[in-house]
Amino acid sequence: MLKSHSISVPFQQGDYSMLQAVRGMQDILPSQAHHWQQVENQLQQLAKRYAYQEIRFPILEKTDLFHRSMGEMTDIIEKEIYSFPDSKGQMLSLRPEGTAGCVRAAIEQGLLGKPQRLWYLGPMFRHERPQKGRYRQFHQFGIEAFGMKGPYIEAEHLLILYRLWEILGIQDQVSLELNSLGETSSLSQYRAQLVDYFTRYQADLDVDSKRRLQKNPLRILDSKNPQLQDLINAAPKLSSHLDSESYQHFQDLQDLLKTANIPFTWNQRLVRGLDYYNKTVFEWIIQGESVAQNTVCAGGRYDHLVAQLGGPHTPAAGFAIGLERLIQLKAITGEHKNPDIYLILGDQVATTQGLALAENLRTALPNLNLEVDCLGGRFTAQFKRADKSCARLALILGPDEVQSNTIGLKSLRTSDQQKSLTYSELIAYLQQTLPL
C-alpha cells in the first residue's frame, strides 16, 4: 500500500510554476477523444447485442473491499493500490479494477436474485511504473455475469471478444490463451507441491521469485526471466491436479470454442495475478508486443467472490479490456467530423438574430454540426476562420440580410456564387444537400 502523507498544499502566492499532470496519468485530447468515442460506442453496441446492461459504481471504495477480494499477497494490493484516509480516518482506495466494485454493488443493491449480465466502462488506478501501454490511470471496459455456472457463459464472453476484434479489424493481432485453475481445494494441493518443488531449487530463483515463493508461489509460473524458463517448464503441472468437475468444465468450454471456431492455446502456466479466480482463466495477448504489457484483455470465472464479500453463493465470470492498449492496436479509421456549416455574423443586431437562427437550425436539423463565429470583426477575417474550420458551407448574417430577412449562403469548397435565401428555402436546401 502506498504511504499516505498529511495533506498540506505548499502553494504560495506568486508561485506561477507550470503545473503538470500526475506521472502516468494522461490527458485525452480532442484529436484522440473521437477515436475513444468510436471504440466506446462499438463496445456499448456490442454489449447490448448480447443483452448486457450497464452498471456504474463509484471510483472510490473502502480499501477493505479490494483487500478482501483481490488477495493480500497480490502485486496490486501490496504495491499498486492508491489508498488514503478520509477526514474521519476511514481508509479509502481508488479502484484498481472493476470486478470488486461491481460485485459489491450487485450484492448491496440486491441484483443477485436472478442471472445478471452487466458491463461497465471507466478509469482505474494502479501505481505501476509507467511505460507504453502501462499507466497509473487507465480505462477498462468490463463485463461481469452472475448466476450462470456452466461453461456457456465463458464461451459467450470469448465470442463477444472475438466479434469485437473482428469489428475493429484486429483479429490477426491478438491470440487467446486459456487455462483452468480448478477449485480451491485442488489449487491449494497444487500450491503446496509447487512450494516443495521451487524450494528445492531456491538457490536458482531470482529475487522476485524468492519473494513469491513464500507469498504467492503460483505467480512464479508467470516469470518472464529467461534463466528461469527451464526450471518453470519442468515444474509440476496444474492440469494434473484438476478436480474432475473442473476438468469436465474445461473440456466442455474447449468443445464450445472449437464449435464456434475460436482459436486458442491452452497455456498451463497462465495463473493470473488476482486471488478471486477459480476454474477458467484467460488472456488475449497482443502479438509482438513486449511482455510487460502485452495483454489487451483478461478474465475468467470467480464463483466464490460474491459469497466471500457477504452475498449469496453466486457463480460468476467476466473480463476486462484495457482501452489504452485496445486503442493503440486499432487501425484508426474515420476522421474527426468537421462542422457542416460556419455561421458568420455582422453587427450587434445580426449577432442577436444569429443566436436565434443557429438554435432554430439545430432544432430543425438535429444532426447538423454548426459552428458560430464568436470572435466577430471584419467579414474577411471571419471568412478566413470559416475556411480553416473545414466546414462545407458558410452562412452569412450581416446588416443587409437582417434588413431583407434573408440569409447568405456560400460554399467554402466550390466557386459557386453566394446565394441569398429565406429561412425556409435554407432549410429545404440543407435537407437536400447536406448528408445529415
Q: Which residues bind ligand HAM (CB under 6 A)?
A: 97-99, 126, 128, 134-135, 138, 140, 142, 144, 295-300, 318-320, 322, 324-325
Query: 175: which strand partners?
Result: 285
Question: How far is CA 59 from its chain centroid?
Answer: 14
Nearer to ligand HAM, 60 or 364 (CB): 60
Is the distance from CB of 182 to CB of 168 less than 8 angstroms? no
Nearer to ligand HAM, 151 or 322 (CB): 322
Nearer to ligand HAM, 60 or 434 (CB): 60
Cβ neighbors of 351 (< 8 A, separation 6 or more) are 345, 376
User: Minimal distance in Å, beta carbon 100 to ligand HAM?
Assistant: 8
User: Minimal distance in Å, beta carbon 138 to ligand HAM?
Assistant: 3
φ, ψ of residue 23 in degrees (nearest 5): -55, 135
User: Minimal distance in Å, beta carbon 84 to ligand HAM?
Assistant: 19
Is the distance from CB of 42 to CB of 141 less than 8 angstroms? no
User: Minimal distance in Å, beta carbon 126 to ligand HAM?
Assistant: 5
Nearer to ligand HAM, 130 or 376 (CB): 130
Nearer to ligand HAM, 71 or 142 (CB): 142
Query: What is the Cα–Cα distance from 276 to 163, expressed in whole angstroms?
Result: 27
User: Minimal distance in Å, beta carbon 425 to ligand HAM?
Assistant: 53
User: Minimal distance in Å, beta carbon 255 to ligand HAM?
Assistant: 22
Nearer to ligand HAM, 111 or 298 (CB): 298
| In the complex, residue closest to ligand HAM by CB | 322
Query: What is the Cα–Cα distance from 54 to 59, expressed in whole angstroms?
Result: 15
Nearer to ligand HAM, 153 or 426 (CB): 153
238: helix, coil or strand?
helix
Beta strands in 15-166 (DSSP E): 53-54, 60-62, 83-85, 91-94, 116-125, 137-146
Count of alpha carbons within 13 Å of 434, Cβ hemisphere only? Answer: 23
Nearest to 318 by CA among 77, 59, 55, 76: 55
User: Minimal distance in Å, beta carbon 98 to ligand HAM?
Assistant: 6
